[in-house]
Each structure stands twice: as structure tokens, then as C-alpha cells.
Chains A and B, each alone.
Chain A
Amino acid sequence: MPAPAQHRIIFQHIDEPGYSNDIDCYLRNGGYEVLKKAVTQKPEDLREEVKKSGLRGRGGAGFPCGFKWSLVDRKSGKPIYLIVNADESEPGTFKDRYIMHQDPHQLIEGTMISCFANDVKQAYIYIRGEMPEGARILEKAIAEARAKNLVGPNILGTGYSCEIFVHRGAGAYICGEETGLIESLEGKRANPRIKPPYFPAVLGLYQCPTIVNNVETLCHVKYIVQHGGAEYAKIGTPGNTGTRIFCVSGHVQRPGYYEFPAGTITMGQLLNDVCGGPLPGRTFKAVIPGGSSAKVLRFGERYKGKRKVGTDMVDYDWGVEDVPMDFDSLAMIGSMGGSGGVIVMDDSVNMVEALANINAFYQHESCGQCTPCREGSLWMKKISSRMVHGEARKEDAALLKSVADQIPGRTICAFGEACSWPTQSFLIKFKDEFEGYAEAKKNLPADRLSLV
């Protein structure tokens, strides 16, 4: 079956010739009309639309946005903050970059609507430090919107006031974790907070109720308020509504970003029809479907079980190519849709070397406050790097796996899972390659691409 057509609602104007990131261009294309309509409605009605839409967060966890908003403590008397998580840092993910660089007003409009819906008077956009240009573009866009009375005091004469400031990170991946991000915004090391009690909806920024939403999620909110939650829910599939942006990188002919109704495209359609298949003379070997912490899938393996279709339970028997690219299907086969970052590896890649690359990333990024993660990520890196650059032993496979198995569930934040899932899944699916690496290494071409 050929791939469905792209359905661009968030990326509608990305790469459109003549479309620029200034407010005049945005206004010419109908910009801020949704905000103007939103501020005449009741905030609780807007929240209800978002709930009805079934929107799930696009940062990685897929947590229902309307539900997240419903957890906010509105009775505390403390101010409510909204933080835009623009720390896009999960390896393989590169969608928010294009929204912020090419269509920043879409984000600002979505943010202002979400602030109004939640009675927020102060929002911060936490953008990663490595995007200085993005930060400048956003600051300029906010100033333009302020000049037109769309941000700031007494917005559009309604009596509602809300400020947005841009806050730059400084190169730490853990700031994408929402409580780490809050610590960072408070001017501290980004050590994630323990939950309970520090659920951001109750005890977030400055111990006040706080909403943290991903850039893309807030753009979806704008679309939902424009068209209504029920209308939005018609896009995609039940439980996986709206569109999803896939960021494809690695060994395909046409890497890039592609937006489809959620759950309507399979991995095979995405990689073969949309991205043009493997590079000439190569075959696909493995794919990481949702950012580098998602568990790897091996081409050739089968996934079998029962799943719910409508009200019926039906059997499924899928190869990697058959898996629908939605949150639930990917979770069902033991991986995750995460942030939509799809990293493809072909048969030229040695999996020990690929894992050594990933392990070096997670070791570098562990915040260090929980021992299993700090020490475990370090040892996984040391062992896998030694296998590549020094002596590799057959028993390293089991050793790596045993270190990885001792981390998840024993840490304050989900980084413990994120850093151990690659090792666990690589070791289960490519065990032969790890056990045989010492021998295989002798025959690998000396001029092969370094991965670590």
C-alpha cells in the first residue's frame, strides 16, 4: 500500500517559498485570528476543547495535554506559570527548530491561547543554548507581537495581561526533563525533582503551579481552538489524534521532517515510500523509532499479539515495516513513539559501535544526582568504548546488560530508563553481534566510519 499524503497543519508554512518569520507575513496568512477569537471565550471552555481533542504531548511522553492542564492547582492563590519546553535535545529530533526559526508566531499564538485558557500571567520559553539564532528570532517575534498588543498588558483591550520571556539553556540535555528545566529556570543545576511531591502542576516554578508544554504541542492547541476539539479528533486515529511530525535521520535517501495524520502511516511506508528507502546498495538493519532512548527495532524480527481495533480484539503479526507509527502501536511492540525522531541504520553499521556512540551521549548528559544513573551510564560508556577501541571480550555482552538492568526504576527521573533502554534493547536484539565482536572486529574494514 502506498503511503498516505502528508497532512501539514503545524508545518503548513515550513519551507514555503516567500514565507518569512516576521509578524506581517504571519498576519497576512490569517495569523492571530485564533487568539482574537479565544480571548472572547471562557478559559474553561477552551480547556474543554483541548480535552475533547485528545491531544497528546509531543515532547516524548505522549501525556494527554487536556489532562495535564486539568491537574493544575487553581485554588492555591499562587500565580500559575506556563513554560514552553523548547529544549529539543533528544537525539534524532529536529522539528521544534523549524517551527521556531521559520514560523515563530505560530508558537507565540499557541502559547498566548494556552496562557489565556489557564489564567497564566507569565510564560517563559526555555530554548536550548545551542540555538542562539532561534532565541533571537523568538525575542524579535515577541517584541513584534507586543507592539501589536498581542502580548503584554491588556491584550486586545480585554483586560487580560500576559508576558512572555525567552530563557536560554546552556547545553544540558537534562533540561528537557520538566522538573530539571524548572530548576534550571530558577538559576540552579538542572537536577530533576522527585515526584511526589514536586509535580509541576502543583509545586513547579518558584513552588507555584506550572504547566510545561512542548513547542509543537502548543501549536496543536492553536489549531484545536481554531477548528474545535471534535474536529481535531477526526484527524488521525482514536487515542492518537491529530498529526505527527516524524524527523527521519541516518541512512535513508531522503532524511527530513514529514507530517502525517497520527497512526495512518507504517514504518515501512515512511522509510521506503516517503524517505526513498535505503542508500544505494544497502539494506536496512535497525531503526530507533522515537529518539535515541527508544528501544531499537531490528529488521527481520516479528511482533505478535492481540490488539484492540474498535471494540474487537484482533491478532497482529507485524514485521518492522508493518508497524503503525503511533504512540500505542510502538509501545505495544516494546518501544515508543517518543519525540518522533526516527534514526535509521543500514547494514554498514556495527551495532556495538552504534551503541558506544549512544552510551557516550547519555554518560555526558547524566545530571549525576542518582548513583545508579551516574555510575551506570559511565560504566556502560566505558565498557562499550573499550570494546571498540581496546580489547573486546565475549562476556562484555552480559556485563553491559547487567549494568543496564540495574538502573531503571531506581532513579528520580526517567533519564535512568532513557540511558538503559538502548543498551538493554541492543543487547537483546543484537546479542550475537556483541558476543562475536572481538572476532568480527579483526575483519571490519580499517577505514570504516568512526562512530565513537
Chain B
Amino acid sequence: MSTTTSSPSVNLKPETLARIDEVITHYPVKRSATLPLLHLIQEDAGYISEDAILWIAQKLELQPINVLEVVTFYPMFRRAPIGRRHIKVCRTLSCALLGGYKTCENFQKEFNTTLGATSPDGEVTVDFVECLASCGTAPVVLIDETLHEKVDAAKVKQISAQIRAEAAARK
């Protein structure tokens, strides 16, 4: 990782910057704000860039490695952009017992993509994630911030159609 002295450039919305300054006040030790800042920046920018890591390090008076090691430890932080929508299918046992693998495969087919990759139109990324703590309504899928329950083949079709309709409406 480079350790330039020039200011790292992050292009954050004013409201993100305001929330960043507010959240730092929640903790007696600045370093505690590392995860909240990573969440806020990822929500704004879509991923954690090298400059974002340097910027957070400066903001919280840390070494860049202190931020990088956090980014690489937690599965939710990503170093590269993904599709506009993020489809996260639960892979763990209770969901698998009720067809979670099939659900994941069906989403990949619907959007002509493979596991972990983004669809050719840039619209969705399909991933497996570990237990989403909704095992009683398996199989479950977290799409962006919304949990979908009992996602069988028919529901995959329905959700996929809705995602495509929303994408078309944006164009």
C-alpha cells in the first residue's frame, strides 16, 4: 500500500460526511469508528477504494494498515465495485436443507451470471453468504437491505422480474 502524504481523494456526499463526523462522537476512542466509517463510505461509493482506506486512516489518526486489516477481515467490505443490486443467498445448513443451493443457481441463470460475478448488464451480483438468522423461513435471500423469505423457484422468477422491471424503468 502506498503511503503518500498528499490528501487521498474520496468523493463523498455532504450527508455522508456529516454522518461520519457524527458517528465518531459515539466513541471515546476514535478507532472504534472504523467499521461505521467503512459502512458509510461503502454505502456512498459502492466499495472501499485504496484512497478510502487512506482517508479513514487520516480521519481516525490510524496507520492505513489498521484500516486495511479490518477491510480484509470482514466479509461485507469489498475492494471493487459490484452490480447495482446485490443478491445474497444464504448458504448455511437450514437454508440448504430447503433448497438454498437451487435458489442461488436459479438467480445466476435469471441474470446470466456466475457466483460472485456481476451480470453482463451490470445490474446484479449474486453471492452466497453465511447464515442470515432467519432459518425458520428458509431459504432466505438478502437483496441489498431487504430480506426475502421462503424463496423457492417461483419466487426467484418473481423477484428477478421485478429487478428487471426496476432496471428498465431507470433507463
Contact = CB atoms under 8 A, between A and B. Distances in A.
The answer on A and B forming one complex is: yes
Interface of A: 88-94, 96-97, 128-133, 165, 167-173, 184-190, 206, 247-251, 255-257, 292, 341, 343, 345, 349, 354, 357-358, 360-361, 364-365, 367, 449-452
A171 B28 CA distance: 24
Nearest to B23: A165
Contact of B94 (A185, A249, A364): A249
A450 B96 contact: yes
Contact of B129 (A93, A130, A187): A130
Contacts of A128: 133
A255 B136 CA distance: 5
Contacts of A186: 29, 31-32
Contacts of A92: 93-94, 131, 135
B74 A172 contact: yes
Contacts of A367: 73
B36 interface: yes
Contacts, number: 152
Nearest to A81: B28
Contacts of A133: 145-147
Contacts of A172: 73-75
B101 interface: yes
Contact of B133 (A130, A132, A167, A349): A130
A130 B90 CA distance: 11
B26 interface: yes
Contact of A361 (B69, B131, B138): B131
Interface string B55-91: 0000010000010011001111100000000001001
Contacts of A251: 97
Contacts of B73: 172, 189-190, 367
Nearest to B92: A91
B55 to A, nearest CB: 15
Contact of B74 (A171, A341, A349): A171
Contacts of B145: 132-133
A189 B29 contact: no
Interface residues of B, number: 45
Contacts of A358: 93
8 contacts: A91-B130, A94-B136, A97-B133, A130-B129, A130-B132, A133-B146, A186-B32, A292-B93
A109 to B, nearest CB: 21
B97 A167 contact: no
A361 B93 contact: yes
Nearest to B134: A94
Listed from nearest, the 10 A-B pairs whose CB atoms lie closest are: A170-B74, A187-B34, A249-B135, A450-B101, A249-B94, A171-B75, A187-B31, A171-B76, A170-B76, A189-B73
A89 B69 CA distance: 22
A209 B2 CA distance: 38
Nearest to B31: A187
Contacts of A97: 133-134
Nearest to A164: B26
